[in-house]
Chain A
């Protein structure tokens, strides 16, 4: 099969090609009252008319395969075309490595298309563990252009779970985070690896070193939401352990002393206090310093944190006010507000 590169459109209309002379194209029947009709280009219309003809004739031939290539270039979302292509690939026993090359070229131009990624998975599934390193590498190529590509991350997680290749995954996350510490997709992947990798021993085993990793990232860029959520996520269903880990309160204090009005640090302090954390005098003093700046009253510490947040995070001022009212109503037992 010769394959066209995505941007090289065939110069000759299909109706003028001798190899298609025996086929009668089938025009689209749009019915008497079409709604939101589309101004098709001639190329689109003709390609789909010929596609209808081979599809209805169930012609699983090399030229039909080539036609699906052309149709996919024009509308990569057409699942009927993709489905027919898979039938042809099976029937003709096409070398699937070639198919991966085709999908690879397409995916680079249409990185947000679901059908392309579904097709890629179909091919990789057929190739099995032979495809593992190739597939991981492929997603890395996509990430070098767009490190947050949602489809590529889903594909990568599927490869890891279905075909393996976990060994270097934590190091890969670290590499991406060193390139961009704000890359939330890489933080998410890190959480995925830490909780799911069969070679690391799970969240319990990894928690200690991961807390240290998150704390380091927070201290480097306290305004970065990602490591704060990651740190909180490490204790997702164990709030009491979060409260008991001295490193959590400590990183909040460090940040508040230096970058004093950090919303994420204040929110974490609020989480701690609501869950029974007994604040150190130093922490209380650092909050008081912020209160003095804002001219806030001398109420309970939890309320004071909310008051500071109302001032330093004006976009969410109503939310922090509401949080404060919850604290006031519930006293120090306002646990239902804890995450």
Chain B
């Protein structure tokens, strides 16, 4: 079957890959990143909270949270929250969440021109995920202004803008909003029915989900869709055995599309006829877990593929043989957790943090 398929041709051989998940090396890799990120990460400076999320939640998956100073992490994360000065400001249409980094956060003296705060949904999701991971009690966060102002970001079609000054709206931010509400145990920040309608409109003719209505099915977008539905309570426990007509989305097509993403080399691809890539082992594998269909994954094949992406420096790369990065490392750890690798914490797939962190112990 695969012999004529062009997607296998450029997958490089990786003879040096190891035969086991090298947990110690991965911990050292994240510890290094925690101390100081190398300068190529400066191009992602605006998303520093996201980078921190990969490091902290990654260490949690690896059972190594003791390597970091939790109090320092909590203090730093909380310092990035935007607070309205008063009730009037809370109603000014802005979003009072978390800034991704200092370069979108400006403290002004009172006589200066008012510069709108730059807090962002993705940063807010990462901030709360980190806080939950290090065991901070989220009821201490000023969640009232966060939830209330988050409504300003939801669009008439149910999708979310990530930031009140305007930006692209798509499924990623529906997921962020749903995860935020779920973590805060407060759903006043979004209209769930509208969000559900938007998600349904993103399901493509082949069963997967695109980031926006009409766009191509994509592993990451499909995760955002299914995880959001799960968080909002729209996915029944035994969804696979239920009659398709009782579901809001076409589950059989979604299941088939997701399973087809496992390629002949064992890895998961994000889109049809594209090469397999480490991160989709989590994005698509996570969808299958939520659907209760991860028992259909060829685990041996997937493990084999992921090990070819494991770096000798610790961490994971996107493709076999390329250099590791923080993003693919984190989702590589997640994938191995889904594969029930020993000495790894189990995941709460739909929140993107460990199950222990999600419960809040």
Contact = CB atoms under 8 A, between A and B. Distances in A.
A164 interface: no
A31 interface: yes
Contacts of B243: 335-336
Nearest to A336: B243
Contact of B43 (A75, A118, A314): A75
B55 interface: yes
B272 interface: yes
A234 B205 CA distance: 8
Contact of A225 (B43, B118, B212, B260): B260
Contacts of A180: 6
A153 B216 contact: yes
A245 B76 CA distance: 62
A182 B6 contact: yes
Interface in B217-267: 217-218, 241-244, 250, 252-253, 256-257, 259-260, 262, 264, 266
Nearest to B293: A319
A50 interface: no
Contacts of A234: 205
Contacts of B211: 150, 154
Contact of B36 (A39, A52, A150): A39
B206 interface: yes
Interface in A59-80: 74-80
A184 B103 contact: no
A229 B259 CA distance: 14
A184 B272 contact: yes
Contact of A316 (B38, B167, B262): B262
Contacts of B118: 79-80, 83
Contacts of B33: 36
A336 B79 CA distance: 51
Nearest to B274: A148
B52 interface: yes
A262 B2 CA distance: 10
Given A41-B42, A315-B262, A188 B215 contact: yes
Contact of A35 (B7, B72, B210, B274): B72
A263 B39 CA distance: 47
B75 interface: yes
B137 interface: no
Interface string A37-55: 1111100100010011001
Q: At the interface, is chain A mostly helix, strand, loop or mixed?
A: helix
B204 to A, nearest CB: 7
B250 A339 contact: yes
B12 interface: no
A157 B214 contact: yes
Interface in B67-99: 69, 72-73, 75-77, 79
A125 to B, nearest CB: 11
Interface in B21-57: 33-39, 41-48, 51-52, 55
Contacts of A302: none
B140 interface: no
A154 B212 contact: yes
A170 to B, nearest CB: 15
B343 interface: no
Contact of A221 (B4, B34, B42): B4
A154 B1 CA distance: 31
A81 to B, nearest CB: 8
Contacts of B207: 229, 339
Given A33-B76, A154-B211, A182-B7, A74 B104 contact: no
Contact of A157 (B167, B215, B244): B215
A236 B206 CA distance: 8
Given A33-B76, A44-B39, A38 B295 contact: no
Contacts of B34: 35-36
A35 B273 contact: no
B106 interface: yes
A48 B43 CA distance: 12
Given A28-B103, A33-B72, A183 B273 contact: yes
A29 interface: yes
Interface string A4-33: 000000000000000000000000111111
B1 A262 contact: yes
Contacts of A30: 102
Contact of B102 (A28, A118, A183, A316): A28
B262 A35 contact: no
B102 A117 contact: no
Given A35-B52, A230-B205, A339-B250, A83 B39 contact: no
Nearest to A40: B42
B37 A36 contact: yes
Given A56-B106, A157-B215, A322-B296, A44 B42 contact: yes
A182 to B, nearest CB: 4
| Interface core residue of B55, B167, B250 (most chain A CB under 10 Å) | B167
B271 interface: yes
Contact of A150 (B75, B206, B218): B218
| Interface core residue of A35, A314, A315 (most chain B CB under 10 Å) | A35
A185 interface: yes
B284 interface: no
A337 interface: yes
A315 B301 contact: yes
B253 A339 contact: yes
16 contacts: A35-B72, A35-B73, A36-B34, A36-B37, A41-B39, A51-B103, A79-B46, A184-B216, A184-B271, A184-B272, A223-B1, A230-B205, A236-B253, A315-B262, A337-B252, A338-B244
Given A52-B103, A154-B212, A315-B266, 11 more contacts: A31-B79, A36-B55, A78-B104, A184-B273, A188-B216, A221-B4, A236-B250, A267-B256, A316-B260, A317-B298, A339-B207
